[in-house]
Amino acid sequence: MNNVVLNNGVEMPILGFGVFQIEDLAECERSVRDAIDVGYRLLDTAASYGNEESVGNAIKASGVARNELFVTTKLWIADTGYDQTKAAFDRSMKRLQLDYLDLYLIHQPYGDVYGSWRAMEQLYREGRIRAIGVSNFHPDRVMDFILQQEVLPAVNQIETHPFHQQVETQKFLRENNIQIESWGPFAEGKNNIFHNQVLSRVAAKFGKSVAQVILRWLTLRDIIVIPKSVNKERMAENFDIFRFDLDLRIWKPSQHSRRVRVSSSITAIRQW
């Protein structure tokens, strides 16, 4: 598995498994067990997903050593503030059945995020969290955050996929030593992405699925991805993306259209 190194030296897998909208708790637990069995070591959940306990049960049943896993969860809006964050963190840890967390994110840029960050900084210094970061923060909020805090966010998890490429945002984050992570790499299935003609041509060229092409495109851009599936065969397919390469040529988006094109003769992803 390829890793990225966060700004505090912690290594994080570039490909992981997400559990957003897996609401059936038994199915969530089974899916996480399957994902670990396939080889995933980055697991991403959130308090607001309502399935932290299922993720914790799967981790406990997996038999995989704790230090081989990288677990992320997120603080919800209702729990922002210094004291509330500490209490919410303890509840998440109890549900996950963990002694420490690898990455804790502020889920949305609302509420007393500054109080929350102070609590997270303390938990980080105490060694209860290996890295702290944010999610869904636009560049202006990130910059404001940087100027106000002592510890630099390690990660910003934001919507990133072929229809929303985040080229300029990634450049901004890279310049400020913050790792970009994609949620919704498949655009939540919108715009018929798995049957997109251009992506399908690229997939056919390499004998891969559209999902594999998307994940490889993102990881080659050094973007962490956390695809979700409840199908073990699909999990394995999504995991098997490191044995082919794409020649990426990323162009600046035009103002005239949001349609994404990938050259059929060369795998250049271009936003028109």
Question: What are the residue numbers of the active site?
Answer: 49
The residue count for the chain? 272
Per the listing, tokens 């059936």 go with 24
For residue 133, what is the enclosing H or E element?
strand 129-135
**Alpha helices (H) in 39-81, listed in sequence order:** 52-62
How remote is the C-alpha of 91 from its chain's centroid? 22
For residue 28, what is the enclosing H or E element?
helix 25-38
Exposed / middle / buried, residue 255 (Cβ in 10 Å: 0-12, 13-18, 19+): exposed
What is the Cα–Cα distance from 52 to 25, expressed in whole angstroms?
A: 9
Q: What is the DSSP code string of 217-272?
A: HHHHTT-EE----S-HHHHHHHH--SS--------PPPSS---EEE-SSS--EEE-
For residues 185 and 214, is the Cβ–Cβ distance under 8 A? yes
| Closest C-alpha to 226, from 174, 181, 170, 162 | 181
Please tell me the number of Cα atoms within 13 Å of 15 on its side-chain side. Answer: 23
